[in-house]
Structure 1
Amino acid sequence: MRVVWQLLAVVAVWAISGQCVSAVDGNPWLTLVLGLVTAVIAVLVYRWVVGRTERRAVTELDREGAAGTVGRGVLIGLALFGAVIANIAFLGDYEVDGLGSVTGAVGLVGFMAAAAATEEVVFRGVLFRIIEERAGTLISLTLTGVLFGLMHLANPEASLWGALAIAIEAGGMLAAAYAATRNLWVPIGVHFGWNFAAAGIFSTEVSGNDTPKGLLDSTASGSQLVTGGDFGPEASVYAVLFGALLTIVFLWLAHRRGNLVPRRGRRTVPAEAATTVPR
């Protein structure tokens, strides 16, 4: 029943927040405030429902060092998407035409914060973590990654390739980030950094959604395999490649730290890491 109660709580926040943020679409300042408030509520609800149903300290959302950990995740997400855009631009398929909209970028901070926090507590906080207990890290990563990708089939301009790309570069990579660090702050930060870079800085589509213009006025043209077409750079082969590479890095870190959970087993911690808590 803990799965039921946890999902009911966090999915309710996810659904309600989505409606509320959509209701103030067009007002960047209200979107900023409401989005940030939603992100905080999502974290608080997760901490409350998991603490009550599992009767434990919710260490995956420790307050100590949270800001710095989120910040590191944001930098990873920004750098990752920046690398995708740099490679697309190198081929001449992405061009900056001038400055975009500062207020548009402000609103996208709130919008993407809400999306990152709510989706991470649902997919990595509840689904990945609980499936991992029974099936192990790799199976849980695969199942929740596929589910995360399939969810995006409901988006505008969606395709099976776009869903597969999201499953690899986001679903798998963010689950691996959680496995490596055993906290949700890093995947929340990476998720936010990636999405905000896409829309708030480089003004591209995010998973097929046509968001307000960000800091740069830009155009993308060329092969869909390179640019991602109407779905946006998340369907670019570069996004899949860099996301897969980062997934491998996170899984290597998880293995090194003894954080990989075998199927129907318990996590084994190497002797040199037995007295430390990975963060």
Structure 2
Amino acid sequence: MTFRLHLLRSWAAQPRNGLLLMIALIGVYFAYFAIPALTQSNAFGRGEVETGIAPFLAKLPTEIGLAASVLAVVALLGWWQECRIVSRPVGVGFWALLLPALFVGSLISLSILALIGGAETDPPLTSAIWGRVLIFVVLVGIFEEVLFRGIVFHAIERVGGPVVALFLSSLLFGAMHYVNWMSGQPLGATTIQVLHAAGGGFLYGALMLRTGSIWPSVILHALWDLSVGLNSATFGQDQDPSLDAVAAAGDMAPTFLGRIGEVLLYGNEPIYGLIVLLFWLRWRRRQAARPS
């Protein structure tokens, strides 16, 4: 067993082989989600957008398996350090988490205030339900971040460098969400989700580069998913929490300034991700220029 594991790791250590392995892994996960969807009567956009907390609870066992499977792949390949799972964080980079954490925290706070004000959810958010929801969003964060900002990012990084890996892994992350269309979600809503996921993935990847660790992105990703679930449960929205603000900006100010407002509200993640990336590139140049 040890000899076979050594052979696997030696094979995957070759950049080209690692890239092939990454493509195969993406294909396996895509097939896992897509094939069951093809047997449903509402496949290819003939269903509705899932809302509320109930879908989180129903998918909890699946997310446990997905998170365990992707961590098992990392263990088999021995890519703990390469995927920045056990790498030492760069403390000076944690400032980059402040703004996105405040943004997501404000969205969660609005939902909590609505709950305190008497908003009802289905099912009611008891302490047990809260615990299951929190476990669910953390598992989703682990699965998606380890897969895309870990395995996929590292495989592309060895071939094209970190910037290319950031862009391509973000695009792949966004495109992967088209399985929701195959599962019945309307195409328009899915396309918005795909674009948002690609932008969010860009931010998560930039934060990972700046902090040197995947865990800040896992936590931020989990908090974002929590805000989406709470928003749809308390306000009845079928998309992410920023859509209300985007729609309001368009209705109240259908002008050039209104369009700018929409970009800032709905496109804040890729914009901020680009800023973080530029700071990381500057920091890396300074580190390289230091005398050894």
Does the TM-score normalized on the shorter chain lie above 0.5? yes
**Corresponding residue of 2:104:** 81
Answer whether contact 1:112 1:192 (CA < 8 A) is retained: yes
Distance apart, 1:118 and its partner CA: 0.9
Q: Counterparts of 2:69 and 2:77 in 1: how far apart (Å)?
A: 12
Q: Which ranges of structure 1 fall in alignment gaps of 5 or more residues?
A: 20-24, 90-94, 205-212, 229-235, 260-267
Q: Equivalents in 1 of 2:178, 2:83: separation in Å?
A: 33
Aligned partners of 2:83 and 2:151 also within 8 Å: no
CA deviation after TM superposition for structure 1 residue 251, in Å: 0.7
Deviation at 1:258? 0.9
Higher-RCO chain (CA-CA 8 Å, sequence separation at least 6): 2
1:218 to 210, 213, 235: 235
Q: Deviations over 1:82-106 (max 9, x none)?
A: 45689xx8xxxxx936244323433
- Quick check: which has more Rg, 1 or 2? 2
Task: Please say if residues 83 and 150 of structure 2, whose CA atoms lie closer than 8 Å, have aligned partners that are also in contact.
Answer: no
How far apart are residue 180 of structure 1 and its match? 1.5
Partner SS for 1:60? coil
**Structure 2: how far apart are the matches of 1:239 and 1:38?**
34
Q: How many residues align?
A: 225
State the 1:243 CA deviation.
0.8
User: Is the contact made by 1:173 and 1:243 (CA closer than 8 Å) also made in structure 2?
Assistant: yes
How much does 1:48 deviate? 1.0
Shift in alpha-carbon separation, 1:49–1:270, aligned structure 2, 3 A = same
Structure 1 match to 2:163? 138
- Secondary structure in structure 2 of the residue aligned to 1:258: helix
* Structure 1: distance between partners of 2:54 and 2:245: 32
1:199 aligned to 2:232? no
**Is structure 2 residue 205 aligned with structure 1 residue 175?**
yes
The aligned counterpart of 2:76 is: 49
Identity of aligned residues (%): 19
Task: Name the structure 2 match of 1:60.
Answer: 84
Structure 1 match to 2:278: 252
Contact 2:204–2:217 (CA<8 Å) still a contact in 1?
A: yes
AA partner of residue 211 (structure 2): T
Q: 1:16 deviation in Å?
A: 7.5
**2:197 is the alignment partner of 1:187:** no
- 2:125 counterpart (98, 102, 114): 102
Question: How far does residue 135 in structure 1 lie from its aligned partner after superposition?
Answer: 1.9
Aligned to 1:240: 266
In structure 1, the partner of 2:196 is 165
How large is the Cα RMSD of the aligned pairs? 4.5
Work out whether residues 109 and 196 of structure 1, in 8 Å CA contact, stay in contact via their aligned partners in 2. yes
Q: Is the contact between residue 148 and residue 171 of structure 1 (CA under 8 Å) also seen in structure 2?
A: yes
**Which has more helix, going by share of residues?**
2
* Structure 2 residue identity aligned to 1:61: I
Q: Is the 8 A contact 2:83 2:214 kept in 1?
A: no
Q: Which runs of 4+ in 1 moved over 6 A?
A: 9-17, 27-32, 71-76, 221-224
**Distance in 2 (alpha carbons) for counterparts of 1:157 and 1:73:** 35
| CA–CA distance in structure 1, aligned partners of residues 207 and 97 of structure 2 | 12
- Residue in 2 aligned with 1:269? 287
Distance 1:35 1:72 in 2: 34
Change (3 A) 1:256 1:98: farther
Aligned residue number for residue 2 of structure 1: 18
Q: Distance in 2 between matches of 1:154 and 1:28?
A: 17
Aligned residue in 2 for 1:117: 142
Alpha-carbon distance between aligned partners in 1 of 2:30 and 2:150, rounded to the nearest angstrom: 13
TM-score (norm 1): 0.59
Change (3 A) 1:197 1:73: farther
Identify if the C-alpha distance between structure 1 residues 27 and 144 changes in structure 2 by more than 3 Å, giving closer, same or farther.
Answer: closer
